[in-house]
Structure 1
Amino acid sequence: TQVHARCYGELEPVNGVLWLCNLCRSGAPPPPCCLCPLIGGAMKPTTDGRWAHLACAMWIPETCLADVKRMEPIDGLSRISK
C-alpha cells in the first residue's frame, strides 16, 4: 500500500530519505483492522494496542484521534456498540 506521508500525519521525507508507515516500520506481518475485516492498507495504532485503518476510524463516529496532528493513536474503540 502506498500512502502520502502528509495524509498519514507524518512530515514529508527530506532529501530522498525512505519513509515507512507505522505498520511497515514495525516489521510485523499486516494485522487485521479491528474495525473491519480487511488486512493491510494504511493503518494506525489504537490506544488499546491493536491496529485500524485510518479511513475506518474517520468514518466511525465513536472513534477519534488522540493526537490530531499526528493522526494517532485511534481512540474510542470501547464506545462502539458491539
Structure 2
Amino acid sequence: MANDLPKRVIRDGTVALEAAVPVLHSPAFEPVAHPECRICYAANRGRTAARLQNAAGRVREFNRIIEDHRRLHSNQGAGE
C-alpha cells in the first residue's frame, strides 16, 4: 500500500500515476432548469457534463442559457 493513486498503463507499457483531478462544483446560486422544458433539460445535462469535464466556461454558458430561457418561462407561463 505504498501508493494508493490510480494507475494508468501508457502505450509503451510504462505505468503512470494519475493525480486526483478536481471537479468543478456548483456555485452557491445557479439557475434552476424548468422541470418540464426540453430546452432547460438539455442545457442542464450539458452543464452537468461540462462540470464533470472541468470546463468552467461551458458551465457558465449553460447557466446563461438556462437563465435566459427561464425568463421566457416567467414571461409566458409554463410554455417553451
Compute the TM-score of the two structures, normalised by the length of structure 1. Answer: 0.24
**Whose radius of gyration is greater, 1 or 2?**
2
Q: Going by fraction, where is helix more abundant, 1 or 2?
A: 2
